[in-house]
Every structure is written in structure tokens, then in C-alpha cells.
Amino acid sequence: MNVQPLMSDAPRGEGTQEADHPTSQVVVFGVDRPLHLDCGVDLSPFQIAYQTYGTLNADRSNAVLVCHALTGDQHVHNVHPVTKKSGWWETLLGPGKPIDTDRYFVICSNVVGGCMGTTGPASANPATGKPWGLDFPVITVRDMVRAQAMLIDQLGIDTLFAVVGGSMGGMQVLQWAASYPQRVFAVLPIACATRHSAQNIAFHEVGRQAIMADPDWRGGRYFLEGSNPRRGLAVARMGAHITYLSDAALHRKFGRKFQDRENPSFSFDADFEVESYLRHQGSSFVDRFDANSYLYLTRAMDYFDMAADAGGVLANAFKGTQTRFCVISFTSDWLFPTSESRAIVHALNASSARVSFAEIVTDKGHDAFLLEEPEMFGIVRGFLDGAGKARGLKAQAP
């Protein structure tokens, strides 16, 4: 299944209804409720596709928002309608798991600018009825969080018990704590930073240029011209995927083993297993993701800089916060190294916030937050249990 343009953003009755993608619901915000973007544009109408799991208790105090990473979506704990694979955080979330859907009401929405039912560059521009393409306004992580706050309002929830996410999702978690401190009791930013490093911006630019160099990109108008920059998007995914792993993880899984042969072919076929793996990652990715969304979401991560938004002093972003923090990093994550997490903790200490910090020893790289990591599971469970006791969290309704 190839990603198709989302043509469902034409004005419709505001409310919750079925999204374009099976199993999701969508909230449509009309022209009277625009999303005010950092770039100065009011986006309207627009919609947010989301999933929920568990039951909201009587006093609406057990809601947990899960924020997805760059290439994630709202399908955190259900079979994905495109890939037919299990949810992307099944390891951490579900009945009896650290984010326990028997106890918490979990919400996960596709970010604005995405391509799984929330308004993005593949959606219909209400002014033309055609896909936005590069006419879609540039968005930021703060815009993503504003849209999520509007969704939470629509669901009738005043305060979130917790906000949890890793990588780009962790950036959203931190922005929630800065933008809406009175609406978040506890947050878990995992494997992230308060700003993108020059190296990360450089990696993203290589990916964007790969997409733009594909002749089928057509200046971002590929839907209108019946093409799809599959090759460029696949290369972008391959390059990015390398940054999600570690040298040790790649060596453990692949080493220098040949693919289906004992000797080199003396060609440019995928001789090595690691080459075949990356090609598979690239080719499977293009079936579920939109190339222009990749451009917009990577740019949003590049622009993220909480210190700059707080007058150059990071601690000011969290000044006076009552939110409880648990910051988690991984020793082999060179995309968002532990030094970035320590900077978050130092800023929180300077703002007198309640914060705990854990660096988990693993050779799995940045993607460790998505994998089987028992120590992380124990930390998440313990932090949420402790926050629940401090909050006086009531048991969910029968």
C-alpha cells in the first residue's frame, strides 16, 4: 500500500469521527478554531487523528499522552493498518505493562504535519482542493503540542496525569512541560534533547536532499503529477536508520557477513547482510510515509531549541514548574547522547523542579527506547506508580 494524499481536510462538521486510516478517530477543527503556528500562519480547518486505549476514570485524572517519534504515528498499541505489524510501543504499553492500559487512559495522536490522518502536506488545501505539498506552512514542535492541547480540550480532559515519549516524542514531552506546566502532573522525556545538535541537523539535511534530488519529487508536487519519490525517501530512511543504531549493535547483528553467499559477487548488489537490511528498511518505509511529511517533521526537529525560546537560559523554560520529571538516556545513543539529558537535568535542578535521572547501560543505540529494555521498563513503572500515589490517582471506573 502506497501513501496516498489525504483529501479529507475539506470543512466538515466539527467533532469526533472515523479517520481516513482504519481504527483511528479524528477530531476536525473548523475555521472558527484555527491552529496558531509559530510561522505566523493560522491553519484552518485542520484535523487530528488519534487512538485511545484503556478507560478514562470518573474524575478524568488517569489520562496519559504518548508522543510519537519522527517516523511513528498514533498506532502505538494496535495492529498498524498499513504495515499490519503490532503497535510501535507494545513493549512498554498495554495491560499490565509499565504504561498499564488497565490503569491509565492512554491517548496517542498523529502530529500535525504527519501523514496518518492528521493534517499535513499530503492533505487537501481547502483553498484549492488539492494536496498542500510545499504550500503547507512550516511547523514546529511547539505547534505539534498546541494541536495536542486542542485535542485534549476536545476530549474534555483538563489535566494530564503524564506525558511520555522518546526522541522527537521526547521533545514534545519537554515542550508540554514548558508550555502547559499546570496541565501536566508528570513527564517522561526519553532519549531526547532540548535542541537539535549541528550534527543532527546535518544528518537531516542529507535526508532531505536525497528526497529533493529524486526526479519524482517534482518540487513537492508529486501527488498532482502522479509520481512518488520512493528512491529518495528510501535513501533518507536508510541514512537516518544508521543513526538510530550503534556500532556494537550493527556488529552484533550483521558483522561483515555476506547475504546468501560465501564469497563477494564483485558487483554493487547487496553483498553484505547489513546492506540488505538497510535496503529493506528503506523500501518498506516508503509504503507508509509521505516524503513531504519527512521534510516537514525533520525541519520541525531542527528548529527545536528550548533555551532560545526562553531568552537563552534553559532553566527559564521550566521556571516555577510543579511537574515531576523522569529523564532517561542510553549509554550507546550517539544521536541524543547522555550529555544532552544531563543538560536537561541541570536546567531542571536550576529551576527547582522535581527530577530523577537514569542512564541505562545498553549497546542498542538510540532505538533502545523502542526495544526490550527491562531496566527502562522498571524505571517507567516505578516513576508512574510513585507519581500516581503522589497524585492520589483513583482506580479506573469498572
Residues 55 and 162 in one domain: yes
Segment holding 22, helix H or strand E: none
Cis-peptide, bond into residue 181, ω within 30° of zero: no
d(CA 154, CA 148): 10
- 188: domain range? 15-196+305-391
Model confidence at 262, pLDDT cuts 50, 70, 90, reads confident
Per the listing, cell 493560522 goes with: 42
Domain boundary pick from 298, 325, 347 = 298
Residues 39 and 62 in one domain: yes
Task: Work out the mean pLDDT of the chain and round it to a whole number.
Answer: 91
Catalytic residues, which ones? 167, 333, 366
Residues 248 and 130 in one domain: no
Q: Judge whether 87 and 79 are in contact, CB under 8 Å.
A: yes
In-domain check, residue 10: no
Domain boundary pick from 268, 298, 328 = 298
Residues 330, 169, 294, CA angle at the centre, nearest 5°? 110
Segment holding 26, helix H or strand E: strand 25-29
Domain CATH for 320: 3.40.50.1820
In-domain check, residue 9: no
Closest CA to 85 of 243, 284, 278, 220: 284
- Cell triple for 16: 469526533
Model confidence at 253, pLDDT cuts 50, 70, 90, reads confident
pLDDT of residue 4: 36
* 214 Cβ contact partners less than 8 Å away, ≥ 6 residues apart: 229, 230, 231, 232, 233, 291
Domain boundary pick from 298, 325, 356 = 298
Residues 212 and 317 in one domain: no
In-domain check, residue 5: no
Tens digit of each residue's pLDDT (9 = 90 or more) over 178-203 = 999 999 999 999 999 999 999 999 99
Tens digit of each residue's pLDDT (9 = 90 or more) over 101-149 = 999 999 999 999 999 999 999 999 999 999 999 999 999 999 999 999 9
Per the listing, cell 539535511 goes with: 205
pLDDT of residue 113: 98
Residues 266 and 143 in one domain: no
Single-letter residue type at 64: V
Single-letter residue type at 48: I
Residue 84, SS3 per DSSP = coil
Give the global pTM.
0.93
Residues 237 and 348 in one domain: no
* 231 Cβ contact partners less than 8 Å away, ≥ 6 residues apart: 214, 216
* 198 Cβ contact partners less than 8 Å away, ≥ 6 residues apart: none
Residues 65 and 168 in one domain: yes
pLDDT of residue 23: 65
Strands 46-53 and 25-29: antiparallel
How much is the CA Rg of the chain, to the nearest whole Å? 21
Residues 267 and 321 in one domain: no
In-domain check, residue 325: yes
Domain CATH for 276: 1.10.1740.110
Residues 181 and 239 in one domain: no
Tens digit of each residue's pLDDT (9 = 90 or more) over 275-328 = 888 998 888 999 999 999 999 999 999 999 999 989 999 999 999 999 999 999
Mean pLDDT, residues 65-88 taken together: 95
pLDDT of residue 90: 95
- Cell triple for 161: 496525569
Q: How many domains does the chain have?
A: 2
pLDDT of residue 2: 34
Tens digit of each residue's pLDDT (9 = 90 or more) over 336-393 = 999 999 999 999 999 999 999 999 999 999 999 999 999 999 999 999 999 999 999 8
